């Protein structure tokens, strides 16, 4: 199967896109990129930010942190100090966002660990010698062999289930502040 060659990252002339379908696709991609940059700016620098966009089809889109009301209020009254009420309202939002960002970081770390473990398992699978049961063609088995194999695999499945249960219990009983290591 031939792979499709792309133009890669190239400088494009900054002018209005004439093709409507290309314009809609570009708007969607650039809008998401703009939101990502705004979120990073807000997280890294601790700034309040608000973006309002209207698509080529006149659909409104917005992004704000911590809320659009607080950003617009600060914009309308730049010399007016923020009142305690808005800070009290925004504080839970900021805390929730911080908590969600921490959860996201943990999930991404777990994802990276799982990818690494998957690579290791793939390498082991490529290099390990096959067991006798992996080399036997299933089609060559008769009824008694199938019964015997079924019994073996059911016993193996029961042992695996028992080990999973023991591991789950051990994790539940492990101290919460330290990661579980078998």
Q: pLDDT tens digits for 105-152?
A: 899 999 999 999 988 888 877 776 666 666 777 788 888 888 888 898
Q: Is the pLDDT of residue 34 over 90?
A: yes
**Looking at the whole model, is its pTM more than 0.75?**
no
Residue by residue, DSSP assigns 117-167 as HHHHHHHHHHHSPPPHHHHS-GGG--HHHHHHHHHHHHHHHHHHHHHHHHH
User: Any idea where the domains of the chain sit in the sequence?
Assistant: 20-128, 143-175
- Pairwise CA distance, residues 49 & 27, whole Å: 20
Q: pLDDT tens digits for 44-95?
A: 888 889 999 999 988 999 998 888 888 888 888 877 665 545 555 566 777 7
Architecture of domain 20-128: 3-Layer(aba) Sandwich (3.40)
């Amino acid at each position: 199967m031939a792979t499709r060659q792309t133009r890669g990252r190239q400088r494009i002339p900054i002018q209005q896109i004439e093709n409507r379908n290309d314009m809609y696709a570009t708007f969607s991609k650039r809008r998401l990129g703009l939101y990502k940059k705004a979120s990073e700016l807000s997280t890294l620098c601790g700034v309040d930010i608000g973006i309002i966009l209207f698509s080529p089809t006149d659909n409104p889109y917005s992004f704000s942190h911590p809320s659009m009301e607080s950003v617009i209020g600060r914009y309308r009254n730049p010399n007016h100090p923020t009142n305690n009420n808005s800070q009290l309202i925004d504080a839970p939002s900021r805390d929730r966002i911080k908590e969600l960002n921490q959860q996201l970081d943990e999930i991404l770390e777990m994802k990276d660990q799982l990818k690494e473990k998957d690579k290791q398992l793939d390498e082991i699978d490529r290099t390990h010698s096959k067991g006798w049961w992996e080399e036997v063609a299933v089609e060559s088995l008769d009824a008694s062999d199938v019964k015997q194999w079924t019994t073996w695999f059911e016993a193996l499945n029961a042992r695996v289930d028992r080990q999973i249960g023991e591991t789950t219990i051990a994790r539940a009983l492990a101290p919460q502040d330290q990661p579980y290591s078998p």
